[in-house]
Structure 1
Amino acid sequence: MKKSFLVVLLLSTGLRVSGQTAAPLTARLGQVSLTFAMASGGQPTYAVQFGSQTVLKPSRLGLALADGQGFEGPLELVGSETKEVDETWQPVWGEVKTIRNHYQQLTVHLRQPAAPSRQLDIVFRIFADGVGFRYEFPAQPTLQYFTVQDEKTEFNLPANHKAFWIPGDYDSNEYTYSTTRLSEVNSANIEAIQLKSAPQRVQTPLMLKSDDGLYINIHEAALVNYPALMLNVDTKTFGLSSQLVPDATGTGAKAYLQAPEHTPWRTVIVSNKAPDVLASKLVLNLNEPTKLTETSWIQPQKFVGVWWEMHVNKASWNYADVSNIKLAGTDWSKLTPNGHHGANTANVKRYIDFAAKYGLQSVLVEGWNVGWEDWAGNWKEEVFDFVTPYPDFNVQELQQYAQSKGVKLMMHHETSSSVTNYERRQDAAYRFMQEHNYDAVKTGYVGRIIPRGEHHDGQWMVNHYVRTAQKTADNHIMVDMHESVRPTGLHRTYPNWLASEAARGNEFNAWSSGNPPEHETILPFTRLIGGPMDYTPGIFQIKLDDWNPQRNQGKQVHTTLTKQLALYVTLYSPLQMAADLPEAYEKHLDAFQFIRDVPVDWDDTRILLAEPGEFITTARKAKGKDEWYVGSITDENARQQQIKLDFLTPGQRYEATIYADGKGASWDKNPGAYQIRKQKVDSKTTIKLQLAPGGGTAISLKPVGK
C-alpha cells in the first residue's frame, strides 16, 4: 500500500546558460541543503550543508568515457527543474511497518558545448537526513553504447574527521574496522583477504564523525549494472574521490552501458545525532519498489544448521579425505568416508528434532553435496553440480522427516566463485530444490571469480547477484548471499533477497584472530546501512577449545554470552541463525529462551542510544504484537546505561525479562557469566543496565494484566 503526495515545481526548464555564468541552484529539506554550481572550467560541482555546518565543500561531478568524449568538462547547464515528493509505503518485511519517502528533487540538464554535444542529467534528492544523487544518460543519437572508464565524483570533506573504515578490496569485505583520522588511513600493513588494496582506498559504507559532532555516512543505493563504489582518500586535503571496481580486460574499463541508462545513487546521510544515522531509510527509499507481484511466500525466519560444528573442527564439509577429485566420472560411493562428515542423515535429523522442539523454522545444511574434497584454492571451473548428494545424505528421507516435524530444510550452494558453472546449473538446482521442498538457499562465493579476472564487486558479478535474486524470486525461493558485494537497499526491490554476509561475520572468531569487541558496535553504522546482514549470532560456547582442544587452542568469541543475545536486536536481519550447536543451547535453556522469543520482523524500531565503535541500544516492536525487545551492546569498555521505556503503550503493564551479564563477567576472562531477572514495568519505568567489558543486555517486554 502506498500513499503519496506529489508537488512538481518547474524551475528554469529550457534555460540555457554557459557553464561559466550559471547561477548556483539550491534545494533544501529541513536542515539539509544542497547547492549545485558550475565551476569556472565548466565542471559541475555540488556542496552539502547541515544547518550552518559544512558537510561537503564544493565537490566535482562527472564521468570519463573510454572514447575520450565523456563528461569530465567543460559542460554547460541548459536547464533544470525541481519537484517535491512525499509518500509512504509498506515493506514486505523490515524494521518498521511504514516508511516515509519525503524529498526535494533537483534535476540539472548538462550538455557538452562542442561536438558531439552529448547530454547528461544529474538528479539530486534532498532528504531531511541527507542527499542522494545519480547520473542519468538520456536517449540521444550521439550516445548509444558506451564504456565508463572512470567516475569523477568527489566528496570533499572540510576537516580531518574520525573515520571507521576497511580496505577497498575489490574481492572481500571481511575485515575488522580501523578507527583513525582521515589523515591516517593506510591499509598497507593490513593482511589482504583476496586482493591487496591500494593503501588509501577504502570501501563504502564509510562512517565519519567530525570534531563538532556531525555524523556522516557515505555509501550508494540501488547498485545495478554497475561496479561497486570505493573511495580514494587524500590524507592531506581530506577529499574523497570515487574508485570503481574494474573489469577483467586490463584496460581500466569499469562499466559497459547503453543509453538510456543511469548509475546507482551516491548517498550521504548526515545528522548531529548518531541514532539518526541508524534510523535512516534514505538508502532504502532510493531503491525501486518491489518487482514481485505476490510476496506471501516470503517468510522471515530463524534457523539452526550443520555449520558451526565445521568451523570449530568438530566435523567436516567433505565426505572423504582425498584430493584431485573430478566432478564428472567420480564414483562417490567408492570413496572411503572420513568418519567426521557433518552433513549425514542422522546428524541432520538431530538438528531437525532440535528445531521442531524449540520452534525454529528451518535447518541449514552445508556440505551435503559432492565436490568438497579439493574445492578450495584450486580456481576450478567444475566443482559442484548442486544436485548430487553424498552417499550418507539421504535427500528423500530427510525431506519426509523434516515435513513430518513441521520444519523446512535450507539449501546451501557454495559456488566456489565458479560463477559461470553456477549460472549454467541454476535452473536444474532450483528445480531440485522445488522437488525436495526447499524454499530458501544460502549461496557462497568463496575464492577468485570465474570468469577469471573478474572481481566480486565488479559489474559482471553485480549483475550476477541481481540475476540470482530475480531467478530465485521466479522460483519462489528466498536467498541469502555470502561473499557477495555489500548491499545497497535492493531488498526493497527483491524482498526475497533476505540477507547477505558481505562483511566479517561471527565465523571469524573460530579460525582467525577474531572480531574485537567494538566490531559489532561499528557494523550497524557501516555494513548494515545498505541492508540486513547474516552475522550468525547466538554463540553460547564462547571458549572454542572445548569443542576441539588441539585445533582450537586459545580461540574464542570476543563477547559475553548475553551480548550474543543482544545482537539479535542490534544487528537487524529477517533471517537470523541460532548459530551454535544444539548441545550448547541445551546447557543454557534459560538463556536460549530469548532466541526462541525474539522476532525477526518488526513494526517499529527505536534507536535509544548509539555511538559508533562504543555502544548501541535498540528497542524493536514485534510484528503484529504489543511486545518489545531491547538489545544493548558495548565495546571492550564496561558501561552503565539508563533507558526509559516510554516507547511502551501508556497504561499497559509488561513483564520485563532481563538477560544481563553476570557478576564479574567480561568477554576475555569470564564470558559465560549471566543472570536473568524479571520485573513488572510500564511506560514510566527506567531500567538501569550494567554492561560488562565486551558485554550486552537483552530484554523481552511482554504485556501482562493492567
Structure 2
Amino acid sequence: MKNLITTALLVLVTLVQAQTTTSPSKEIQVNFQLTAQGQPSYTVKYKNQDVILTSTLGIELKDIPALEKGFSMINSSEKAMDEPWTPVMGEYAVIQNKYNQLTLNLQQKETGRLLNIIFKVYDEGVAFRYEFPKQPNLNYFIIKEENTQFNLAGNHKTFWIPGDYDSQEYVYNETQFSDIDVSKLDMNNGIGLKTIRDNHRIQSPLMMKSANGLYLNIFEAAVVNYPVMHLNSVPAKYQLTSHLVPNAIGDKAYLQTPAVSPWRTIFVSDDARKIVASKMIFNLNEPCKIKDVSYIKPMKYVGVWWEMHVGKSTWDFAGSQNAQNAADGSLKPSGKHGATTENVKRYIDFAAKHGFDGVLVEGWNVGWEDWFGNWKEDVFDFVTPYPDFNLKAVNDYAKSKGVKMIMHHETSGSVANYERHLDRAFNLMKEYGYPAVKSGYVGRIIPRGEFHDGQTMVNHFNFVARRAADFNLMVNSHESSRPTGYSRTYPNYIAAEAARGNEFNGWSNGNPPAHETILPFTRLLGGPMDYTPGIFEIKMSYYDKTKTEQVHTTLTKQLALYVTLYSPLQMAADLPENYERYLDAFQFIKDVAVDWQDSKYLEAEPGDYLTVARKEKNGERWFLGAITDENARSSEVKLDFLTPGKKYKAIIYQDGKGADWKDNPKAYEIKTMTVTSKSKLKLNLAKGGGTAVSFEPIQ
C-alpha cells in the first residue's frame, strides 16, 4: 500500500510540473515540463505531427550557478489574446495579433532564484522567451551562453548560411540537415570580412521543409540589449542549440533584472504561404514608441551608387592612397569621382522627370581614400563634402525640383567615431532637409574586437534608430545585424540590408536565381529589406568587355522584385541612361506602390517560386509579382483578390520569347487586357525569370 501511495504522489507531481497549451486554431500544441533533474523542456506538435521533440532550456551565467536545473514550478497562468494593431507602413493596413499565452513561474531550489518562461502560440507558430524578474538573489549578471535546444523530428531539407559573426551576405545552401558543413563551401563569394569559428554553426532565420511536407522556420524576435542568436547544429542528430555571438572578451550579454531575452520562434505550417505571410515577428515586438509619425513616409529613390559598382565612377575623390595628395598636401582629383555636383544634378533631373521621391548620393564626403581594410578609427566626420560636391547648391537644386536628398553615412565599422559625430551629422541633415539616411558598416568593428552581431552592435543599431527619431529622421542600415521586428517599435527604422543584396551581382559570382525566392522565407521575416532591385543592363560586359559578371535574372524579374521583396523604401538601382532605353518597362517601376493595405501570397515554395499580389495603401490599384528560380515555370492564378463587380486594366510585363537569365535576359513583352475578379491569369516565367502586373480599375 505504501508503494502504491508513493507512486501516486510521483504521478501527481509530474502532472503538476507539466503544462500544455495550443494555438487559437488548436493545430499547434506546446507541451512544457520539468525533467527529473528540474530542467525546463518543451515539445511542439502540428496537427498531431512531431515538430520539435523534447528539447531543454537553460541559461549559463558567468561566475555563478547556471539557470538550468533544479527548478520547481511555483505557478502557471494562461490567457487568450487578440490585439490587432495598425502599422505606420507595411504589407497590411491592420495586423492581427492573436495568440494563446502560457506563463511558467519557476524557482531554483538551491539558489532561490526566479525564472519565468513565457510561451505565445500563434496559428503560424510558437514563440517563447526567458524572463528574469527583479529579485534579491539576482541583480547584475552576465550571460555566458544560452542553451536553448531545438531537436528536430527528421532530416529536413534546409536553407542555411554559415554562422558568421560579421556578415549575412551569403548565398543560401540548400541541403539536407545532415549535410550541413561550412568547410565544404566555396568561400570565394565576394565577402571581404568573415568571422566563422565552427563548421556546423549556422544562422537564423533557418528555413526547412520536412519529408512529409511541413514547413519550419527557426528565428528570433525583439532582439534588444542582447546578442544575435546563431545555431550550433549536430547534423547526425538533427539537433540545434542556440549560440549567442560574443563580445570582445568572450561574454555574451550584460543584464540587470528585471530583464528578458529575445523571443525564440518556431514557424510551422503545411502551407508555405502562411510562413511568408506571417507577421509573428512584428507582433512579438513592443508597440510604436514614436508619438509623431507624420514624417515617416515610404520612398522610391534613385542614386549615385550602381555606377560605382559597375566601375563607371568611384566613391573616393583622389584615387589610391599613394596618389591622393598634391604637392601642397591637398587632395588631388582622380577624375573618376561620382558624387560631383553636376552628376548629382543629372540624377535629380531624372528623379523629378519620372516622379521619384529622393536621390541617394554615396561618396559625397571626405575620407574614402584610405579607410578600407586599415581598421582606422577617425575616417569620416559625416559633415565635410569633397571639393567637387557643393552641399548647398545640390540641396537647393533638389528642393527646386521637388526632390528629397537621401544622406549616406558610411561608418567604415568605426562605430565609436560615428556615435561621437552622430548629432552633428543629424543636425546637418535637418539643416538641408534630408528625410532619411543610409548607413553602412563595412569592415571590422571599432571598438576593436566587437562583432556586427554582438550585444554592443545590436544596441548601437537600435540606438541610431532611436536617436534619429529624436530628429524626425528615417534610417536604412546596411551591413547591420539582421532585423527582428524592431521597426514596429521604431518605424523610422524604415529598412535594412542585412543579407546578400543585388550589389553582389556587379562584381562577384553573384546571387543565383533561387536567391530571391528564399529571402522572403528568411531575412524578410524580420523586416523590410533594401535589396536595390531594378537592374536593366544585366551583363557587366556592357561596361567592360572583359567582365563576365552579371545579374542572375531576366529584366522582368527585376520588375517583379518590387512586389515580392517588401520594403517601403525601394530603389530604382540602375543608371538613368539605362532606363531611358527601356522606358516602356521602366513604367512599372514608376507605377508600383511601396506601401500597402493588403497582401495576398498566391504561390510559394522556398528556393523555387513566389507569387504575391498587393493593394496600394491609399488607392484601388493592385500589383502582382511572380518570380522563379533557375527553372522555367508556368502556372495559372485566380484574380479573386480584385474587387467583385469591377473591371481592371491589367498591364502585364513578362519574359519574352526565348528569354533566359543567362543567355537572353533582356527579352520581354508587355501586353494589356481587361480582367475581373473572376478572371484567371496565366504566368509563363523563363529560367530565372519573372512577371510583373499592374491592375488599374476602369472607371
TM-score in terms of structure 2 length: 0.96
Please say if 1:462 is aligned against 2:497.
no
1:564 match: secondary structure: helix
Q: 1:178 maps to what in 2? A: 173
Q: 2:5 maps to what in 1? A: none
Structure 1: which amino acid aligns with 2:598? D
Q: 1:347 maps to what in 2? A: 343
Residues 228 and 637 (structure 1 numbering): CA distance in 2 closer, same or farther, change over 3 Å? same
1:17 shift after superposition = 12
Q: Tell me if the contact between 1:17 and 1:78 (Cα under 8 Å) persists in the aligned partners.
A: no
Q: Counterparts of 1:295 and 1:604 in 2: how far apart (Å)?
A: 21
Residues 324 and 685 (structure 1 numbering): CA distance in 2 closer, same or farther, change over 3 Å? same
Q: Counterparts of 2:677 and 2:635 in 1: how far apart (Å)?
A: 17
Q: 1:663 maps to what in 2? A: 657
- Deviations, residues 20-44 of structure 1 (Å, cap 9, x unaligned): 6644201112111111001111110
Please say if 1:231 is aligned against 2:231.
yes
Please say if 1:602 is aligned against 2:596.
yes
Q: Tell me if the contact between 2:601 and 2:611 (Cα under 8 Å) persists in the aligned partners.
A: yes
Residues 302 and 241 (structure 1 numbering): CA distance in 2 closer, same or farther, change over 3 Å? same
Please say if 1:119 is aligned against 2:114.
yes
Q: Tell me if the contact between 2:326 and 2:332 (Cα under 8 Å) persists in the aligned partners.
A: no
Q: Counterparts of 2:299 and 2:387 in 1: how far apart (Å)?
A: 30
1:77 match: secondary structure: strand
Q: 1:312 maps to what in 2? A: 310
Q: Counterparts of 2:395 and 2:128 in 1: how far apart (Å)?
A: 48
1:162 aligned to which of 152, 157, 169: 157
1:345 shift after superposition = 0.2
Q: Counterparts of 1:612 and 1:630 in 2: how far apart (Å)?
A: 18
- Deviations, residues 268-322 of structure 1 (Å, cap 9, x unaligned): 1111000000111111100000010010111111000000000000000000024
Q: Counterparts of 1:331 and 1:588 in 2: how far apart (Å)?
A: 46
Q: 2:147 maps to what in 1? A: 152
Aligned residues: 683
Structure 1: which amino acid aligns with 2:601? I
- Deviations, residues 659-679 of structure 1 (Å, cap 9, x unaligned): 000000000000000000000
Q: 1:13 maps to what in 2? A: none
Q: Tell me if the contact between 2:172 and 2:515 (Cα under 8 Å) persists in the aligned partners.
A: yes
Structure 2: which amino acid aligns with 1:128? D
Q: 1:135 maps to what in 2? A: 130
Please say if 1:645 is aligned against 2:643.
no
Q: Counterparts of 1:333 and 1:517 in 2: how far apart (Å)?
A: 48
1:642 match: secondary structure: strand
1:18 shift after superposition = 10
2:637 match: secondary structure: strand
Q: Tell me if the contact between 2:305 and 2:362 (Cα under 8 Å) persists in the aligned partners.
A: yes
2:150 match: secondary structure: strand
1:538 shift after superposition = 0.2
Q: 2:19 maps to what in 1? A: 25
- Deviations, residues 225-245 of structure 1 (Å, cap 9, x unaligned): 000000111111101100000
TM alignment of 1:429-468, pairs within 5 A: 429-468=425-464
- Deviations, residues 535-582 of structure 1 (Å, cap 9, x unaligned): 0000000011212334xx111100000000000000000000000000
Q: Tell me if the contact between 1:333 and 1:391 (Cα under 8 Å) persists in the aligned partners.
A: no
Q: Tell me if the contact between 1:19 and 1:43 (Cα under 8 Å) persists in the aligned partners.
A: no
Q: 1:260 maps to what in 2? A: 258
1:301 aligned to which of 296, 299, 302: 299
Q: 1:619 maps to what in 2? A: 613
Please say if 1:200 is aligned against 2:200.
yes
Q: Counterparts of 2:371 and 2:403 in 1: how far apart (Å)?
A: 30
Please say if 1:631 is aligned against 2:625.
yes
1:437 shift after superposition = 1.2
2:517 match: secondary structure: helix
Residues 475 and 19 (structure 1 numbering): CA distance in 2 closer, same or farther, change over 3 Å? farther
Q: Counterparts of 2:326 and 2:440 in 1: how far apart (Å)?
A: 24
Structure 2: state its 5+ residue gaps.
1-9
Q: 1:680 maps to what in 2? A: 674
1:334 shift after superposition = 2.7
Q: 2:509 maps to what in 1? A: 513
TM alignment of 1:354-433, pairs within 5 A: 354-433=350-429
1:492 match: secondary structure: helix
Q: Counterparts of 1:321 and 1:593 in 2: how far apart (Å)?
A: 37
2:486 match: secondary structure: coil
Q: 2:587 maps to what in 1? A: 593
Q: Counterparts of 1:592 and 1:303 in 2: how far apart (Å)?
A: 13
2:84 match: secondary structure: strand
Q: Tell me if the contact between 2:42 and 2:56 (Cα under 8 Å) persists in the aligned partners.
A: yes
Q: Counterparts of 1:104 and 1:638 in 2: how far apart (Å)?
A: 42
1:89 match: secondary structure: coil
Please say if 1:522 is aligned against 2:518.
yes
Structure 1: which amino acid aligns with 2:635? Q
2:485 aligned to which of 489, 508, 511: 489
- Deviations, residues 508-531 of structure 1 (Å, cap 9, x unaligned): 001110000100000100111111
Q: Tell me if the contact between 1:19 and 1:41 (Cα under 8 Å) persists in the aligned partners.
A: no
Q: Tell me if the contact between 1:563 and 1:696 (Cα under 8 Å) persists in the aligned partners.
A: yes
2:461 match: secondary structure: helix
Q: Counterparts of 1:330 and 1:419 in 2: how far apart (Å)?
A: 30
Q: 1:101 maps to what in 2? A: 97
Structure 1: which amino acid aligns with 2:179? E
1:315 match: secondary structure: coil
Q: 1:504 maps to what in 2? A: 500
Q: Tell me if the contact between 2:302 and 2:356 (Cα under 8 Å) persists in the aligned partners.
A: yes
Q: 1:583 maps to what in 2? A: 577
Q: 2:4 maps to what in 1? A: none
1:100 match: secondary structure: coil
C-alpha RMSD of the superposition = 1.6
Q: Tell me if the contact between 1:17 and 1:76 (Cα under 8 Å) persists in the aligned partners.
A: no
1:648 match: secondary structure: coil
Large movers: runs of 4+ above 2 Å: 16-23, 329-334
1:78 shift after superposition = 1.1
Structure 2: which amino acid aligns with 1:28? T
Structure 1: which amino acid aligns with 2:645? G
Structure 1: which amino acid aligns with 2:281? V
1:420 shift after superposition = 0.3
* Structure 1 range deviating more: 539-548 or 579-588: 539-548
Q: Counterparts of 2:491 and 2:296 in 1: how far apart (Å)?
A: 8
1:331 shift after superposition = 11
2:543 aligned to which of 520, 541, 547: 547
Q: Counterparts of 2:338 and 2:528 in 1: how far apart (Å)?
A: 28
Structure 2: which amino acid aligns with 1:615? Y
TM alignment of 1:267-306, pairs within 5 A: 267-306=265-304
- Deviations, residues 249-272 of structure 1 (Å, cap 9, x unaligned): 1xx310000000001100111110
Q: Counterparts of 2:240 and 2:652 in 1: how far apart (Å)?
A: 44
1:197 shift after superposition = 4.0
- Deviations, residues 23-78 of structure 1 (Å, cap 9, x unaligned): 42011121111110011111100111111111101111110100231211121111
Structure 2: which amino acid aligns with 1:134? R
1:196 shift after superposition = 2.2
Q: Counterparts of 1:453 and 1:651 in 2: how far apart (Å)?
A: 62
1:472 match: secondary structure: helix
Structure 1: state its 5+ residue gaps.
1-15
1:324 shift after superposition = 6.9
Q: Counterparts of 1:197 and 1:179 in 2: how far apart (Å)?
A: 21
Residues 549 and 410 (structure 1 numbering): CA distance in 2 closer, same or farther, change over 3 Å? same
- Deviations, residues 309-352 of structure 1 (Å, cap 9, x unaligned): 000000000000242799xx999993220111000000000000
